[in-house]
Chains A and B, each alone.
Chain A
Amino acid sequence: MSGIDDTPSTGDPTDSFVQGDDDTEPRITFYGGRGTSALPIVFFIVWAIFQTALLRIQSESGLIVGILIGLIVGMFFVRGDWASYANTIFEGMTQPVAVTAIVAWIWAGMFAELLQDGGFVGGLIWLADIAGIGATLFPAVTFVLAALFTTGIGTGYGAAVAFVILFFPAGILLGANPVLMFGAILSGAIFGDNLAPVSDTTIVSAVTQDSDIGGVVASRFKYVIIAAVVAFGGYLVAGSAMTGLDIGVDAQAILDQESQVIGLVHLVSMGVVIGTAVAGRHIVEAISWGIVTAIVANLVLELTTVGEIISFNAPPDAPFAGPLDALPFLTVVEDADAVGVSGSLIAGASGFFELAILVLFIIAAAQIMIRGGAFDAILEWSIENLATNVRNAELTMVGSAALINGVITINTAAEVAIGPYISKIGERFNLNGYRRANILDGQTAALGYIFPWSGGVLAGYTAMRDLPEAYDWLEADMLVTPIDVVPFVFQGWLLVAVFVIAAITGFGREYVTDRESEEVARI
């Protein structure tokens, strides 16, 4: 497919997933050979490991600077005209693979924030509370509820934070083991991050493998649920074997305080998105229906106000501030710093702005690598030495996706970087888009929440460190260090194991001749 074809795109949106010429020779040549074209992305990976793993700085804006410097450094190694290098950056950034993911993230971000602000966690606490769960069962139930919550809101990082703040203290009070509680929360986050149609990693896995998101979700259910059933059993067994702390505080009172049955209404909002997604509706349409349902539920049941969903905070000297002051979405603010637009919709959408910019630059660097020939070199070496048959090809896909997600803290960024490689290895053996997307996202979701430098672990641990300030009875030595939780993230380890076994045995394997994925613009 020709990426520099000026012909307007018509028909199937997948037609626009065009990347450059059909030239067999690289378009950009580098000093040091075609391997040098990997320099921007290698520089970024080293920067990401240094920043996130060694310094524990989980900042997407820091990663943006890393990839920008990588792109600048790479340019100095170009032979001849640097304009072709610069043009390739634009070629990469304008690909629909990036734009489609960004649009989906922003829609999903608004939806997730509406559910969080609408008391969805409070509803899940009510469920745990009403069931009268004790210390032994609490980690297993926490896993299920965190999985349910993350499947609704799509963001595992957000779920890790919400559950550490609300469920972790409750579990400790009830006498559940703290390490097991943190492991169960992270496991739930992995489940939802992997399965939710509104999850950023689900979206990237589908888009990079040219598949519809609804079909991807339905086809990956088998891997996720097998791992989850075993993980649930693991938390039951470990829950009875590992003792907790004796706090001597009224756990029931704290649970009652956070319990809010009405928040369960958002199971309907979540069901609307999942149902329409798996039924094959367009990404924007499916999440929009979820947003409408959540807004109606929040307003009718008085879970939030109009102003909490969207609010124009205008200065008093604004010409229409006075006459329109009665509007529920207008607030006149005296403080100049408070001027702006706020609310769930803004907070949800803006949460993805930095990630969107980062992904655009990573895709640009990947395009440099493709145009410069390093991608071909790695692919040819892999096909010759690793992916020598379909079983080895799938094991190579599992291993490479696991490796890059194991070293890069922000798993979405790692997934975008490895996406083209997974696609090429899989297509060579005619593995269909669903199978490729599932192998890719299984490792992305799992490895994003296991190691001490993983984004999900860091998000949860950061929230945990603030808990002693919120609860008098909670001492700093009751907290879990990230290294301690590594063996207890059962869903993560099991998900990787399921895919290794699936690659060896052929479980769930589908070829393009068995079933073709639907067009990528649908979820």
Chain B
Amino acid sequence: MAILVGGLGCSHVPSIGAALDKGLMQTPDWKPFFDGIGPGRDWVAAQRPDIAVAIFNDHGNAFFLDRVPTFAVGCADRYEIADEGWGPRPLPAFDGDAAFGWHLADTLVANSFDPTVLQEVEVDHGLQVPMELFWGRPAARWPVRVVPIFVNVIQQPTPLPSRCYAFGAALRQAIDSFPGDARIVVLGTGGLSHQLQGARAGFVNPAADRAFLADIARDPEKLASMSREDYVRVFGSEGAELIMWLVMRGALDRAVRVCHSHYFVPASMTGVGMLVLENAAKAI
């Protein structure tokens, strides 16, 4: 059966993508962030996952308000790079893994989660930025296949944090029951604290961000039991997307070890984090 090699968490701020495109990684604004991503990239290079199950949200590039899936699973063999308004970024399209996508859809429905099943769908910075931070920018082809899970974190009602955590457990069941010996990593994206709308725009909460990075490893139930309103209050209206990290965490064992944790604020208007977790029971 497939092997779960670990869980990753990562912000997906578009300005990080712009910094990568413009080569600004060593400028004073960006150096403290990019200096801290090396261990995450090294971990991925050493673990060589075959499949990355990436949990993120669309930002008005794939879905309009005419249809808003709460959870959607990519079951395609290819995902093109979205044009978000400034032309597609210079990245190769992602190879998908339709077999795992369909197996995940089957397993989710068998566990009373009913996702939208996606074929042709473009992916935006929500997926691109975390993938590039962990895998680097490939010249021609990504060294890993991607299975995207889209979560609605924009239009109310958004899913409960506890539901995201339980979704992760069903995802784990899909990994453990997937025939073959694929090495699978789960990647939760978004956050950390930020607010882009209203007079409270520019709200960041570095203390809460640092606590989140610790709690997601040692006390995920605490984060899963918070209300959606709690997330908005503590992390900002857009920082509430941190519930997507709970899908990743729910796929791991209760006991994990932290292989890497990095925090920086602000990237544009956002506190940004990178986290690498492994099941504590996994042989080192």
Chain B associates with chain A? no
